[in-house]
Amino acid sequence: MLPPDFRWIKPAATAYDETVIAHGDTWVVHIYQPERGREWVAMLDAHREPEGRRHRRCTAFANGKTGAELWVQREQARLRLEVQQRLG
């Protein structure tokens, strides 16, 4: 379960699933499948520059979503601060 100011959204209007956790309009996590039929990957700290992002393999899409929610719960204070600083 996500903190109330974070939410799952679709990365694009045509996307099939909600694969992004956003704080406001800023993405903080993105779960994606680099190649169809391959493993899923969770990009953590998606709001950072590419070198500051971390990628974690997911055993399945559902497991990736659960893990992403747990990570946001643990990191929520830092994420809020970084998003706020990013927005200036």
Q: Residues 6 or more apart from 19 whose CB is under 8 A from it?
A: 8, 10, 11, 30, 31, 32
pLDDT of residue 37: 79
Spell out the domain ranges in the chain.
6-87
Q: pLDDT tens digits for the chain (88 residues)?
A: 899 999 999 999 998 899 999 999 999 999 999 888 789 999 999 999 999 999 999 999 999 999 999 999 999 999 999 999 988 7
Closest CA to 31 of 75, 3, 68: 68
